[in-house]
Chain A
Amino acid sequence: MKITYLNLNSMKSTKFFMSAIICLALTNTFTSCSDDDDPDPVLEEEFITNLTLTFTNTADATDAVVLFSTAPDGFEDGTSTENILGTFTAGATYSLSLEILNEQEDPADDVLNDDIIPEADEHFFAYAVNGINLTMTRDASDVAGPDGSKLGVNTTWVAGAISNGNLQIRLIHEPTTVDDSDEFGSATGGSEDFNITWTGVVIL
């Protein structure tokens, strides 16, 4: 008489599964499915680190006022510090020249002439003063801005009576509308590339 027994290998299968799980669990901690190369630093565009406003007396080249703003980590989100060198002479006329640089590049990147002026129809400089007797005009030779306006790169300033106060410059990128009828200029929409105020500007 032959007797056949059914082979229940349940315990064997269990052991197999347990070791498989532990094996897989351990391999997970050691294998890495991605490449281990270091990430690249982000290249930020139109990166600005320095803004310099140089007001030069049209009658006397040695009489100048320089306003600095520097942000070593960039204008976008780095801490910026402002400085003033010199004082305005009451009654004098000054010619303003702008310098906008990225000094993280060597040699420094001239953002004004390489990026802003070539895209003059998408930018606009707006100025404002408070407390200080300064008036300005945008030169006839000024670069053309959006919608028939003047960009605000070449400007002439007249210092009035003795006073002190604040001076603001803003650069608006892709404004919706611009208005330079009051010379200082205003704009709506767009986004501000920078908005810097110097306090304690003096006319003596």
Chain B
Amino acid sequence: MKYYVLIVLLVFMCFGFAQKCDDVFLGELRDFHDNTPLNGATVFIKNLNKYVASDERGKFKIENLCKGELILVISHIGCETKRITFNIDGDMFQNIALEHHIEELNEVSIAATVERKETKTSQETIIKSETLKRYSNLSVGDALKEVPGVSSINTGSTIVKPMINGLHSSRVLIMNNGVRLQDQEWGIEHAPNIDVNIANQISVIKGSGALAYGGDAVGGVVVINPKRIIRLDTIYGRTLIGGQTNGRGYNITSTLNKNFSSGWFAEIQGSSKRNGDLKAPNYTLTNTGLDSKGVSARLGKLNFESGFEIYYSFLDNEIGILGASHIGSVFDLERAINSGQPFLVEDFSYEINAPKQEITHHLAKLNYYKRYKNFGRLKLQYDYQHNQRLEFDVRIGDRREIPAIDLTLQTHSILADVNLDSNLNRKINFGVIGRFQDNFANPDTGVRRLIPDYNKYDFGIYTTVEYVVNNRLIADAGLRYDFNRIDAKKFYRKSRWDERGYDEDFSDIIIDETPTQYLTNPVFDYHNISASAGINYSINESQQMLLNYSLASRPPNVAELFSDGLHHSAARFELGDIRFDQEISNRISASYIYSTSKLNLSTEIFYNNIRDFIYLRPFDFISTARGPFPLWEYQQTDAELFGIDLTINYNLTDNWQFVNKTAYLKGNDLGTDMAIIDIPPFNTTNQITYNNESWNNFSASLKSEWVFKQRDFPDFNFEVEDELNEEMILVDISSPPPSYHLLHFYSEATFILSEKTNLNISLGVNNLLNAAYRNYLNRLRFYADELGRNITLQLQLNY
């Protein structure tokens, strides 16, 4: 009996284990972007070790499949091979999409030196990492001067603010890896808080054509991007060590990247930079030391269909300001201007004392994107910034260690951006952004707040279209609306309130009072419309023309509205006006580019008309118990700027190259018919380079820099009375310094150490002839000369 049961059981078990392999798999292959069927794709069935091809409708059929896992590896010309696993449990029909755009494959290309421009019809110049490494020991503002038409407004040599076609501060937007920098940029002595070493590529866009970044870029936009991620299993990085003779400075920066083919990536980067007192040809510039430290990290996963990134960066700067520039009175200023020498010159030291700035900046970003078939890509981003700025003046007694300015600025932004690029000939982009900002001015400084506590709310919505008309002509246009609300709480001295006549229009903003002050709550709303339209026309293979018109609208910043007090270290009063309207800029530009293998020529011309242009000028005096102080008032006028920027790159032979960069700019105040203050004078640089690839890629270049004397400047000179001696003293703050010529030398070579490692050594000498000169765009030009000779040696290991 037992045997019979066993046999029956075995028979049943046989039936149970017998696999019925008759399932069918029907697949349909389509292009992800435009849903066209993929004909002739190869489908490799791993389980069966068999190949099958898709037909002209993208369909393929696999028969006699067993239940369980089915692994397919699908490939097609121009597509990335896709591996998919399915679980077969009966007949199955699947739509499978393959990514089929060659242009998009640039994201996964290795060692691609493709220049990815941000805009198509704006005047945009890209500075690449090979050039940026020369500025590793300097600042972003210095690196940007590689572009003709871009200069800087400085407070000494270590505080460098980029200036695009004569415009700076709130008129220049800076983007750090997709985050708009919010770091009290309204201040003329506030350099951008960004470590130049995090940048792999910087795009400088003149004008406001890049509407996605903002509608208020009256001057332009600087877009700083880190290295693009490649989807390969690889680990790479670089370490750079440098030293400079001027200021006995040293700097080190290191980056390490790990990428995975699955799309995961991680990057960590750090920099440290230090120099002591810098030196002009004839004396030490006492108290110009700098101590800067930064760290940044990125982590995320990037796939074609979706991805995310977490980014964090931290920067800590301690910047000494020339000791001789601290003045207590306008008489000190006059003495400084007339003596021609700084009154305070001490031996070299690394110590940084007052006057100085201490700034920390945290930036964190989280973004996510997803691509949808037949639609496009959606990106979501949240970013947060925390900026704390302490400015120390030379102070007496107990207040010696207390800063005179203590501002904490926090900004939250959230944005959503959609790119509709399923049709490559007509790309549409639209997005919304919301931002909240909080500024806290600490009263513990014991100094009346230069700018008040405020909350700022921004909302923006934009759309841009890029239309490929034919293979020669691309047109683009954009429109943007921004709403800004500023809600401040500010103390006004009753005497100032009456003097400004605010009682007539603003008595309703007073919320409290003390015996001598009113506490007010101004809340201002601004509605801004900005737009841009342009064409990019290829005349023929070697000639190209760009035309662009853009409209930008910039609301007044907090300094322009609320400045109200003595700027101690500058010995001047600064006064804003809450009646200001926003600036409206209409800018037209044209560029002509001629490009052959021997010669590259680029001419950029623009005209910018700015209605309600805001600027600061000395206007009157305040007679205080400490003497007379000039009163600088913000003014609103109509202005126009016009300029031409030229670049010529000529390859004399295979080894010799000549480069010329020239910029000419004119700025007029249409209201007063005077020139605008701080317009960069005409400048031209000529550079000759020898390079020889067979000598370890050696190159040496000599650059001649000519900066002419600015002859168009407003006369803001004033006279002040020395009451004791009954003398009128002329204070000449307007006359620009004479023209100057500098010679610079640079050479480098790259030694290949192994397949993936190379060592780049560079030697540079700035101001080779140790010429003594002053720069009109340096606010400290009254007190001391610019830097003398500086020899820099840098070693960069790439691995």
Contact = CB atoms under 8 A, between A and B. Distances in A.
A80 B621 CA distance: 12
Contact of A32 (B328, B329, B440, B455): B455
Interface stretch (B89-97, B643-651, B779-787): B89-97
A196 to B, nearest CB: 6
Contact of A80 (B410, B435, B512, B624): B624
Interface string B95-134: 1000000000000000000000000000000000000000
Given A4-B90, A39-B453, A45 B399 contact: yes
Contacts of B713: none
Contacts of A195: 329, 625-627
A33 B446 contact: no
B394 interface: yes
Nearest to A50: B625
A73 B624 CA distance: 10
Given A78-B493, A191-B394, A42 B446 contact: yes
Contact of A3 (B92, B416, B457, B725): B92
B531 to A, nearest CB: 21
B633 to A, nearest CB: 15
B624 A75 contact: yes
Contacts of A25: 414, 416, 432-434, 459
B625 A24 contact: no
Interface string A62-79: 000000010111011111
A38 interface: yes
B93 A42 contact: no
A32 B398 CA distance: 36
A130 B624 contact: no
Contacts of A75: 624-626
Contact of B372 (A1, A14, A51, A130): A14
A57 to B, nearest CB: 25
A61 interface: no
Interface stretch (B373-381, B501-509, B673-681): B373-381
Contact of A41 (B378, B440, B514, B573): B514
A17 B380 contact: yes
Interface in B503-538: 511-512, 514-517, 519
Contacts of B436: 28, 31-33
A122 interface: yes
Contact of B519 (A38, A71, A77): A38
B90 A192 contact: no
A21 B432 CA distance: 8
Interface in A105-148: 119, 122, 128, 130-131
B654 interface: no
Given A3-B91, A77-B565, A48 B457 contact: no
A195 B328 CA distance: 11
Nearest to B382: A24
A75 B623 CA distance: 10
Contacts of B624: 71, 75-80
Interface residues on B, range: 35 or more
Interface string A9-49: 01001100110011011101101111000111111110010
B443 interface: yes
B723 interface: yes
Contacts of B623: 79-80
A163 interface: no
A74 B303 CA distance: 64
Given A4-B92, A33-B438, A75-B625, A40 B443 contact: yes
Contacts, number: 177
A44 B410 CA distance: 27
B445 interface: yes
Contacts of B149: none
B726 interface: yes
Scoring A4, A13, A33, A39 by chain B CB atoms within 10 A of each residue's CB, the highest score goes to A39
A163 B69 CA distance: 114
DSSP majority for the B interface?
strand
B516 A104 contact: yes
Contacts of A31: 436
Which range contains the number of A residues in contact with the other chain? 35 or more
A69 B723 CA distance: 14
B489 interface: yes
A33 B627 contact: no
B369 to A, nearest CB: 11
B18 interface: no
Contacts of B629: 77
Contacts of A51: 625
Contacts of A122: 396-397
B59 interface: no
Interface string B420-455: 000000000000111110101101011111001101
A77 B573 contact: yes
A128 B393 CA distance: 29
Contacts of B625: 48, 51, 69, 71, 75, 78, 80, 194-196
A73 B328 contact: no
B13 interface: no
Contacts of A3: 90-93
User: Which of B380, B394, B396 has the most C-beta atoms of chain A within 10 angstroms of its own C-beta?
Assistant: B396
A13 B377 CA distance: 13
A39 B94 contact: no
Interface string B37-81: 000000000000000000000000000000000000000000000
Interface string A161-181: 000001010000110000000
A137 B735 CA distance: 45
Given A17-B380, A79-B622, 12 more contacts: A3-B90, A3-B91, A21-B380, A25-B416, A29-B434, A31-B436, A33-B436, A34-B438, A75-B624, A77-B448, A80-B625, A128-B724
5 contacts: A4-B90, A28-B414, A76-B626, A77-B622, A122-B396
